[in-house]
Amino acid sequence: MDVLFHRLRDTTGASAGVLLLADYAETTLEPVPGQWGPLAAEVHQVDGPTAGKAFRTQRPVSVDDGSGTLVFVPVSVRRERLGVLAVRLDREQTDCWSELRLMAQLLGYVIAEARRYTDRFERVRRRRDLQLPAEIQWELLPVLAYQDRTLSIAGNLEPAYEIGGDSFDYAVDRGFVTTTVNDAMGHGLRAALMASLTVSTQRNVRRCNGGIRQQAEAASDRLVEQFGEDAFVTSLMVHLNTATGEASAINAGHPAALILRKGEVVPLALPPDPPLGVEPGYDYTLHRVDIQPDDRLLLLSDGILDGRAGDSSDHFGSSRVAAVLTDSQAHAPTELVRQITSRVMDYCDGKLQDDATAVCLDWFG
């Protein structure tokens, strides 16, 4: 951090700076200790007009704060949004945004690599302690967002600090992408361990060149071996050819995905097979699916559809999810999944009865 701030001072004349990292729920931007110069290390809201706007839009935002120009530059790696770099410049110093973008980009890669050897940045992202099941789940997750010339993908989980059974995963290969959402039965540590076994088995088979049918069958068998037949995990798995749009999918007792196609929302309705872990040796059905250019595919868990406030019988439901999809067509997948989980949390007065997971995949064709 010190090296970066010294570089900014020398190249842009910046007089102060601070790094802000998004908390796990992507509701606030938390300052990293060690800011440089006379700049308040304050918490910003992700839905706010300055740092939050830079984070949401992934574009720099500048404001005059009376002591100079404050510039907020998004910090990300590919499409994974990490936070915002806030820098104070002299009033005359307005032609150095390219240098700020470069420094923010380098900082993103530093933070991503630092996860391997320090807890410093992870502590900042936690507004409160994670429960042990949530710790297990967060360690399972892939990079939260990715984009290349053929696709863009992002996922989000709520409640971020108390996750018990939900998980998602994806893997991008040459010409293909595999996307999975899992929901383990129950809550707490046992559900987290079931989710961990499921994701690890799916990854193991995938990395041995096994398809999604082999992944589902292996995960189901391992669950029976370790937990017996009274425990299960629902799963929706999609394998997409990013050159042609041809896809295959398996629905192991999971809620249907939704497709936003030319402004219309249609369900990806697949006849469900039993959840993973219910029937040892079950042969899961591989369904063919055609994805069209510019389709947006949304995979979710039942915690989103079943979300409700208190004892109310009115669930969030697929119609509200569809409304968010159509209202957010201009947003990138990163912002869409944040908005969906955020709206479900608001609808439930901040108290979900079950984990809520959303994964969005855009295929450009």
Query: For residue 161, what pLDDT is reported?
Result: 80
Quick one: pLDDT at residue 130? 85
Which tokens belong to 40?
Answer: 């308040």
* Residue 32 pLDDT: 93
Q: What is the pLDDT of residue 116?
A: 86
- Residue 28's pLDDT is 96
Q: What local confidence, expressed as pLDDT, does residue 29 receive?
A: 97
What's the pLDDT at 179? 98
pLDDT, position 314 = 86
pLDDT score of 93:
58
Q: What is the pLDDT of residue 293?
A: 96
Ranges in the chain, pLDDT < 70: 1, 91-94
pLDDT reported for residue 159? 80
User: What are 153's two structure tokens?
Assistant: 């993908």
All structural domains of the chain, each given as residue ranges with its CATH number in brackets, are: 2-125 (3.30.450.40), 132-363 (3.60.40.10)
